[in-house]
Structure 1
């Protein structure tokens, strides 16, 4: 039996076990999946796709998968930028004329959220290490303004936080968390950015809004940045990371 067949068989067994042990959860999940147009044969594949996304806010098991499926109907699109038009004046990215466009198509994201992850354009192992090093170096370079701790949004990943009290409402809503790298599968990032910078990043193809962005649960300023694929893209992501630190700490002295 091939590896893919084994994974599909195990996924199907987990789904059957969930149905057998938790009838009330089964009724709710079945209603949601029917609404979404998922047939039973698709459930096992859908469950395995959820597990392949890696660690996130929800456990990587049938219970986390069930919650992720239930959240799907509440997903919002993440590419429109009208939401930022009323709060554009301040920017930490600098001159928009010097901010480049990302080459090629956007990264494809997984069906589920959470976790919000990309499923293609995954960087090389060498680039993955450089992404982590650049993120942690930004924290070290700005140690007077930020601190590193486990992400509150996704406890599996290290995150940067504002050191001290949040300087504005967006920082408070996100519990001082500036951002984190998904350092297990895709190496994309979640970062908080100023409204004008959100608009620029999305329109230039570097990322998109969180599926719940703009609700009482998730700030509209929380973006997923696609993982950089080469040194040139890494430099742009570093620029965005510094802009995120500047916005969240309300500082123009980020290095």
Structure 2
């Protein structure tokens, strides 16, 4: 590398190479690595933007923060963490179905935690949003709607009144929200018993920061339903989340 530079570079560079050959070789090596890596970095940035809006801005700054956070993420699909909790179920365990397809691929970045495939049709996207907010309307005595504190860019369902337990208090009463811009998955907070059921039956997984000071361990991402049959199950999960977060058996 030094020989190549001395034969092609102007006099000033030749002098630099002569005085600091190891430094020049090191800098050249770093530059080569960056040049090779740039396409990968560009693809990673595009993948971040493709995930849509979330807590971080959809720009270089948000991407950089998401990349820095990534090593601190926890695994999302084990359920042993819930065994130490004694909790009720709002889902109705005996007849809760298993999701009949592989889990969707998740985006590498978080935030935002999003699906990278198995995106529902445009018609189904409308049905998902309608279903979510209809549950809020039907249970107006228990819940309200406001901007999401967790992600700031989506409308969220909240507990109406004081949070009834630690999980609700930690997330400031936010029951959940739909990611109504790209994948139409949703984040919901469920009882530990129902979290285990949802994960083991293939309907969702934890947020990588669940179980930290940032989010309660009961915070799950629920995969976007792709047809009416899956939507009916997700509707059931939303109602279970409302029941747990409001500590009510009166959800309709």
For 1:222-237, what aligned pairs fall within 5 Å after superposition? Answer: 222-237=219-234
List alignment gaps of at least 5 residues for structure 2: 1-29
Q: Is the radius of gyration larger for structure 1 or structure 2? A: 2
Tell me the matched-pair count: 219
Offset at 1:97?
A: 1.7
Offset at 1:146?
A: 0.3
TM-score by length of 2: 0.85
Hey, what's the Cα distance between the residues in 2 that align with 1:89 and 1:247? 10
Offset at 1:175?
A: 0.6
Deviation string, structure 1 residues 191-243 (Cα, Å, up to 9, x no partner): 00000000000000000000011111111100000000000000000000000
Q: Which of 78, 81, 104 is residue 79 of structure 2 equivalent to? A: 81
Hey, what's the Cα distance between the residues in 2 that align with 1:195 and 1:119? 26
Hey, what's the Cα distance between the residues in 2 that align with 1:88 and 1:249? 17
Paired residues of 2:87 and 2:191 also in contact (CA < 8 A): no
Deviation string, structure 1 residues 136-171 (Cα, Å, up to 9, x no partner): 000000000100011001111010000111011100
Hey, what's the Cα distance between the residues in 2 that align with 1:144 and 1:249? 10
TM-score by length of 1: 0.84
Deviation string, structure 1 residues 2-35 (Cα, Å, up to 9, x no partner): xxxxxxxxxxxxxxxxxxxxxxxxxxxx9xxx9x
Match of 2:91 in 1: 93
Match of 1:48 in 2: 46
Match of 1:216 in 2: 213
SS of residue matched to 2:235 = helix
Q: Which of 156, 160, 163 is residue 159 of structure 1 equivalent to? A: 156
SS of residue matched to 1:243 = helix
Q: Which of 226, 242, 245 is residue 245 of structure 1 equivalent to? A: 242
SS of residue matched to 2:145 = strand
SS of residue matched to 1:223 = strand
Offset at 1:88?
A: 3.9
